[in-house]
Amino acid sequence: MTQQAVKKDLGAAALELENLALRASEQMPSGSDRKPERWADICRNCRRRLEEDLLRMAVVGTIKSGKSTFINSLFSGDYLKRGAGVITSIVTRVRRSDQLKAVVYFKSWDEINNEIGQALSLFPFAGWRSSSEPFDIRNPSDRRDLGQALAGLESGYFVSRDSRSVSSVLLDSYLQGYDKVAGIISDQTETLHYSGRDFYEHQGFAGNQELAVYLKDLELFINYGNMAENIEIADCQGSDSPNPLHLAMIQDYLHKSDLIIYLISSRTGIRQADFKFMSMIKHMGAMGNVLFVVNCDLNEHENLDDLQRVAGGVGRDLGLLTDSPAIYTFSSLYALFSDISEILPEKDSARLKQWRGDKALAEFSQKEKNRFEADFNNLITDQRYMLLLKNQLQRMETVCSDFEQWLVLNRRALSSDANGTDELIGEIRQQQKKTEKIRSMINSTFDGACRQLKKELKTNADRFFDTRHGQVVPAVVDFIRNYHIAPDAYRTILSENGLSDTLLVVFRDFKENLDLYMAEQINPRIFGFVTENEHYIFEYLESICRPYESMIQEPLADLAKNNRPREQITGTDTTEQTLAVSLDGVKKAGGIHMPNAAATLDYTRGIQTEAFMKLGFFRMVQGVRQLVKRGQVAGTADFSALETGVARIKRETETKVVFHFKNYRENLKFQYLFKLIDALAGEMSQWLVQRFETYATDLTRIREISNSSQEEKKKSMTETDEMIAELDRIKGRIESMKKSLAPRGLAGTGAGTGHEAQQSMTRR
């Protein structure tokens, strides 16, 4: 039975069990007993979880490594714009659906103006606006003033790290695209939907940086290909994008991804940008989730030997970063063209024909693509999806077991006379005493465990973010203190624009370099720390549950033995049941999210242009003038004053960064880690305690059932027997589904079998 077949069958079984529980609630003489309704709710939640749960796959790599082409090849069509812009691109999410549709999400006016405001805090001169009110791009005068100011800036302001500065591109893009989107955007997040023939209209936004800057999200639904509907594939920005915010967006998606596909171009092999990005993934603790694809440009390789030489070099380089990497070497463009060969333009048809002419290369590429698809389906569909299905199967087994005990209790009460009822009530009271002790022990143990965990994680977080010996703050402080400006880079701006404007250009460059350092070096360490502690929390609490599971089975077995003949008990042995709680499921159900990666870049709040001016920069200028009067060379004096101003900027930034990470640490502890502890402990303890639901019985209700008329008893007995038979049938279906979920190994050969990825997926 395939995974999709199991999902469909499990959903149907959950619906049948839900209806059976509702029938019991309506027809059985249950009085105030609400347990059947609660079981129906569990079944309903199971069906919703099966439909809503997404398996997320991130496609990453450097700019021009072929990420969009790769995703297009998975869906056998040209759906994503290939070669889109890189400055303001966003994460594009793609899913299989029964309808071809694109949903474009726009930022609100507040989000746009806040982003512009951050960029304007680095503007190189004051007095450029005709208004003192906060900047609002909707005001014609603000747009006019900003346009004139940008036009009047010297070229030095637009260049940072040998490329256009992020802030200048951002401001210019917002101005250029305003007229085209002003009628769409509002104070809320607005969306545009493109379906059918209009689907490709979305590419006008994704591939145009003047419009993409206004986008918050982009989601594509594609009605073709063999991809399962519960898999979301993300086309991420280039890992070497100059914008640190892009890197932060990628990191956020990587943290919640089940699988990462890293593309490496065969034209270049592994570059320095690849090593930096893969090192970042490793620091995040996500390297075990990665499959590597050497994306071939078949025009670049004379023969198969040349391609395999490049692939071999990639394998050796990857071996420095991870053991047994799973590597696949094929051409995404060849795969795409092969799938849509009948509708290719003449030029592309000629390229495909040329590639097919080299049979060795073409066959090798196709074989590797087939191997990748087999392993991909095993990891993302079979193993990860299998965990989801097993989790929900376990919940259904528990409902069946508890439901059965409830039904046999009712049946025994219906078949008992007064003496038999007294005996049954006595047995239940004895079991209640046992279970209440265990219940009290469970609650007490979890309360103590939560206190201990919070104490340990507080210590871990305080140590990790310690200002002297931690893994984050001292590194940032060292970066700030060791940052130096190159004299020649600012001499022209200094002589033409003056000290105050030059200081702001220096601060802009300093901030952009610090932002990039935060994104590349600090965020991965934080994500790695969080991932490690997430797993520690889960394993700690899970270890507490195990001893209680065996304690619970004893009274359950006693009740089953006393209330139903052994030969009549069918379905799964409850002693084999396992903890049906997942880390991802608890986070999703509780809406628990760690601070996003961009939060570490908020350290500049409060470090505004005006603040620097108030620190005495104008007084420094006066000091420079006095030096000039004494006969010192003006250029030397100006640069000396500039260095003094930079030192002041660095000291102020260091203070703000230390304060910022103190706040970030407390937010991470109380708003994420501690909430996660409480949510997981609550879910696990509830999972254990709910096994005693059968004993939480109103004994007065048992007496009322026994005192019913013979006619009522006969009718209820018939209904109970019918429901027990129906329940046995559902349990048999669940057992068959459970047996069909047997894990398989990877099909990988040659460059690596990806066992690390396989194990990591299983842990999740």
The per-residue pLDDT for 727 is 94
Structure-model confidence comparison of residues 309 and 747, the more confident one: 309
Grade residue 315 by pLDDT with cuts at 50, 70 and 90: very high
Q: Say if residue 709's pLDDT is above 80.
A: no
The per-residue pLDDT for 31 is 52
The per-residue pLDDT for 578 is 52
User: What single string gives the DSSP state of each residue in 48-108?
Assistant: HHHHH--EEEEEEESTTS-HHHHHHHHTTS--SPTT--SSS--PEEEEE-SS-EEEEEE--
pLDDT in tens, 99-158: 999 999 999 999 999 888 878 876 665 667 878 788 999 999 999 999 988 887 655 555
Mean pLDDT, the chain, as a whole number? 81
pLDDT in tens, 452-510: 999 999 999 999 999 999 999 999 999 999 998 877 778 777 777 777 777 777 887 88
Which runs of consecutive H residues, i.e. helices, occur in 616-671?
618-629, 634-668
Grade residue 206 by pLDDT with cuts at 50, 70 and 90: confident
What are the C-alpha distances in Å from 545 to residues 438, 450, 683, 687?
A: 12, 13, 11, 9
The per-residue pLDDT for 408 is 84
Pairwise CA distance, residues 566 & 89, whole Å: 64
Whether the Cβ atoms of residue 95 and residue 219 lie closer than 8 Å to each other:
yes
- Over pLDDT 90: what percentage of the chain? 38
* Nearest alpha-carbon partner for 28 in 406, 452, 592, 530: 406
Pairwise CA distance, residues 668 & 680, whole Å: 17
What's the half-sphere exposure (Cβ side, CA atoms, 13 Å) at 534? 22
Pairwise CA distance, residues 5 & 730, whole Å: 16
Grade residue 580 by pLDDT with cuts at 50, 70 and 90: low
Q: pTM for this structure?
A: 0.80
| Backbone torsions φ then ψ of 572, nearest 5 degrees | -75, 140
The per-residue pLDDT for 550 is 66
The per-residue pLDDT for 541 is 92
* Coil, strand or helix at 217: strand
Grade residue 180 by pLDDT with cuts at 50, 70 and 90: very high
Pairwise CA distance, residues 665 & 389, whole Å: 36
Structure-model confidence comparison of residues 449 and 566, the more confident one: 449
pLDDT in tens, 229-257: 888 999 988 777 777 888 888 899 998 88
The dihedral formed by the CA atoms of 147, 150, 153 and 154, expressed in degrees to the nearest 10: -130
CB neighbours of 667 closer than 8 A, spacing ≥ 6?
595
Tokens of 98: 């029964």
Mean pLDDT of 306-312: 92
The per-residue pLDDT for 554 is 61
The per-residue pLDDT for 723 is 92
* Nearest alpha-carbon partner for 407 in 727, 699, 38: 727
Q: Say if residue 65's pLDDT is above 80.
A: yes
Grade residue 433 by pLDDT with cuts at 50, 70 and 90: confident
Pairwise CA distance, residues 237 & 218, whole Å: 13
Pairwise CA distance, residues 288 & 281, whole Å: 9
Sheet with 259-265: list strands edge to edge.
191-195, 101-106, 215-222, 92-96, 231-235, 55-61, 259-265, 290-295, 326-330
Whether the Cβ atoms of residue 240 and residue 89 lie closer than 8 Å to each other:
no
What is the SS3 string spanning 12-45? Answer: HHHHHHHHHHHHHHHHCCCCCCCHHHHHHHHHHH
Pairwise CA distance, residues 624 & 630, whole Å: 10
Q: Say if residue 183's pLDDT is above 90.
A: yes
CB neighbours of 490 closer than 8 A, spacing ≥ 6?
156, 502, 505, 506, 639, 642
How big, in percent rounded to 5, are the helix, strand and coil portions of the chain? 70, 10, 25
Tokens of 694: 């059968």
Tokens of 232: 């979301």
Grade residue 637 by pLDDT with cuts at 50, 70 and 90: low
pLDDT in tens, 355-367: 999 999 999 999 9
